[in-house]
C-alpha cells in the first residue's frame, strides 16, 4: 500500500516525538521514501540526526540552511509537491491551533499549507488539553478542511494522568493510513484467486514432466490486484519467485491435481479468478516408486489426462468473473475464442508465440484481451508489470460496469 510512496513526516514539539523514530523505520520497511520536517522545539525531544539517519534524508528544521559560510533555502512548495501524503505526528495542541487558523510561522506549517496531497495528523497532548473546547474546534476545523485525524489513544500520559491524549502507536498509525487508503481502491472488498507458474508431474522420485513457465505473469497479476485493494489467494506451481504482501496468501503446489484441489477449495469465496498457470495437460499414469534405471532401447511412458482446472471452475461459476489464458501458435484468435466459450469464461488473455517478446521466460509480453461479448483489445509489447495493469484495468471496467 505504501511501497514507492513519498511520505513527508512533520514532527512537532511534544514528548511523543520520540516515537517517530519507530514510525520512520516502519514507513521505510513498508517501502516508502521518507523526508522529515521538524519544528525547532521538536529537536528537544528527538534528535534530528537520528531521524536523518533512519530516513536516509536530511532533516529540515528551518527555511534557511547555513553551511560552510553559504546559505540555501528549503523550498516548502517543492516539499509539498514532492509528497504523496503528509503525516504530522505528534500534532501538539499548539500546532493544531496554528494549522486550523492558517498561521505560518515555521517551515513545517508552511509546508503543510503548500501540500497538495492527503494530510494525516496524530494529536498528542495531555488529557485536559485534549478535552479543552479550543482543541475540539481545531480538530473539527482540520477535518472539515479535508485532513484526516488519526485518533489519539487512551493510556498513561506524561503528566501521570490516565486518559485520552496519547499519540497513536507507530504501528497503529501505519495500519490506520493503510486501511484508510485502501477504501478508495477499485478492488477494495474483493477477493481474487490467481494461479501461476508451471506444474510438475512426477515420473519417478527424481524426474518429472514440466514446462518453461516462470510464473512471472501470475505473480505480477497477484501483486497488482493486492495493490488495487484486493485480498489475493495465489496458487503457485514450482517457481523461484516470492511475493511478500500483507494482502496475498501464497499457496505452493507441485502437480496439476494439487492445483485443482487448491482452486476448488477457495473458488466459492472469490469474486475474480484468473488462471494464469501453465498446467500440464497430461501426467504419467504410473509413477515409479524408485528411480528408473537406464536400459537398452526406448522408454515408453503411458500418460493420462490431468483434470481441466479452468473447465471445472467454469462449470461451478455463479458470481465469479473468470479469466483464462491462451498460449497459441496458430489460428490464435479462433482458438482463443473457442476456449473462452467452451470453458464458460468471462474473458481470455491471448498470447502468441509468434510475437517476439511474448510467452514464457521473458520479462515482456504481448497480449490480446477478449471478453465473452467478443470485445477484443490488442496491446503493444510491454513489461509484465505493465501487462498486469492492463489486464486488471480491463477486468475492473467490466466488473464495475
d(CA 326, CA 276): 9
207-240: b (≥16 Cβ within 10 Å) or e: bbbbbebbbbbbbbbbbbbbbbbbbbbbbbbbbe
Cell of 380: 503493444
**What does the DSSP 8-state code read for residue 186?**
T
Contact in structure between 87 and 173 (CB atoms under 8 Å): yes
Catalytic residue among 6, 94, 172, 211: 211
Nearest to 20 by CA among 60, 48, 1, 40: 48
Task: Give the gyration radius of the chain's Cα atoms.
Answer: 28
Q: Report the C-alpha dihedral over residues 370, 374, 379, 385, rounded to 10 degrees.
A: -30
Contact in structure between 213 and 200 (CB atoms under 8 Å): no
d(CA 373, CA 280): 29
Q: How far apart are the first and last CA of the chain?
A: 25
Nearest to 234 by CA among 218, 255, 254, 210: 218
247-264: b (≥16 Cβ within 10 Å) or e: bbebbebbbbebbbebbe
Q: Report the C-alpha dihedral over residues 178, 183, 185, 191, rounded to 10 degrees.
A: 90
Active site residue 335: no
**Helix ranges (DSSP H) in 39-121:** 48-55, 76-82, 93-101, 107-114
Contact in structure between 246 and 268 (CB atoms under 8 Å): no
Q: Any idea which residues carry the catalytic annotation?
A: 211
Amino acid at each position: 500500500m505504501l511501497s514507492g510512496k513519498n511520505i513527508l513526516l512533520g514532527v512537532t514539539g511534544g514528548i511523543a516525538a520520540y516515537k517517530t523514530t519507530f514510525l520512520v523505520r516502519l514507513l521505510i520497511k513498508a517501502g516508502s521514501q521518507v523526508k522529515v520536517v521538524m519544528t525547532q522545539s521538536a529537536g528537544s525531544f528527538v534528535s534530528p540526526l537520528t531521524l536523518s539517519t533512519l530516513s536516509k534524508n536530511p532533516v529540515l528544521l528551518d527555511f534557511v540552511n547555513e553551511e560552510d559560510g553559504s546559505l540555501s533555502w528549503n523550498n516548502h512548495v517543492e516539499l509539498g509537491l514532492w509528497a504523496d501524503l503528509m503525516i504530522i505526528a505528534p500534532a501538539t495542541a499548539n500546532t493544531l491551533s496554528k494549522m486550523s487558523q492558517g498561521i505560518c510561522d515555521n517551515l513545517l506549517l508552511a509546508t503543510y499549507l503548500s501540500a497538495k496531497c492527503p494530510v494525516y495528523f496524530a494529536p498528542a497532548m495531555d488529557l485536559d488539553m485534549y478535552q479543552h473546547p479550543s482543541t475540539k474546534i481545531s480538530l473539527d476545523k482540520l477535518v472539515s478542511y479535508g485532513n484526516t485525524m488519526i485518533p489519539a489513544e487512551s493510556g498513561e500520559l506524561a503528566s501521570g494522568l490516565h486518559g485520552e491524549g496519547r499519540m497513536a502507536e507507530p504501528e497503529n498509525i501505519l495500519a490506520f493510513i493503510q486501511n484508510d487508503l485502501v477504501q478508495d481502491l477499485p478492488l477494495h472488498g474483493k477477493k481474487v484467486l490467481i494461479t501461476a507458474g508451471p506444474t510438475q508431474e512426477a515420473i519417478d522420485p527424481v524426474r518429472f514432466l514440466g514446462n518453461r513457465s516462470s510464473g512471472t505473469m501470475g505473480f505480477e497479476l497477484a501483486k497488482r490486484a493486492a495493490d488495487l485493494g484486493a485480498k489475493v489467494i495465489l496458487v503457485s506451481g514450482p517457481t523461484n519467485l516470492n511475493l511478500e504482501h500483507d494482502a496475498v496468501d501464497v499457496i505452493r503446489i507441485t502437480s496439476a491435481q494439487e492445483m485443482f484441489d487448491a482452486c476448488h477449495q477457495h473458488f466459492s469465496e472469490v469474486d475474480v479468478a484468473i488462471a494464469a498457470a501453465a498446467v500440464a495437460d497430461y501426467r504419467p499414469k504410473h509413477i515409479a516408486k524408485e528411480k528408473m534405471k537406464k536400459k537398452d532401447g526406448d522408454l515408453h511412458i503411458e500418460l493420462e489426462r490431468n483434470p481441466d482446472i479452468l473447465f471445472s471452475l467454469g462449470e461451478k461459476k455463479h458470481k465469479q468473473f473468470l479469466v483464462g489464458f491462451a498460449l497459441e501458435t496458430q489460428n490464435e484468435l479462433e482458438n482463443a475464442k473457442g476456449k473462452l466459450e467452451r470453458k464458460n469464461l468471462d474473458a481470455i488473455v491471448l498470447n502468441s508465440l509468434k510475437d517476439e517478446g511474448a510467452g514464457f521466460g521473458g520479462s515482456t509480453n504481448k497480449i490480446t484481451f477478449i471478453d465473452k461479448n467478443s470485445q477484443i483489445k490488442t496491446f503493444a509489447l510491454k513489461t509484465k508489470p505493465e501487462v498486469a495493469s492492463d489486464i486488471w484495468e480491463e477486468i475492473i471496467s467490466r466488473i464495475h460496469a
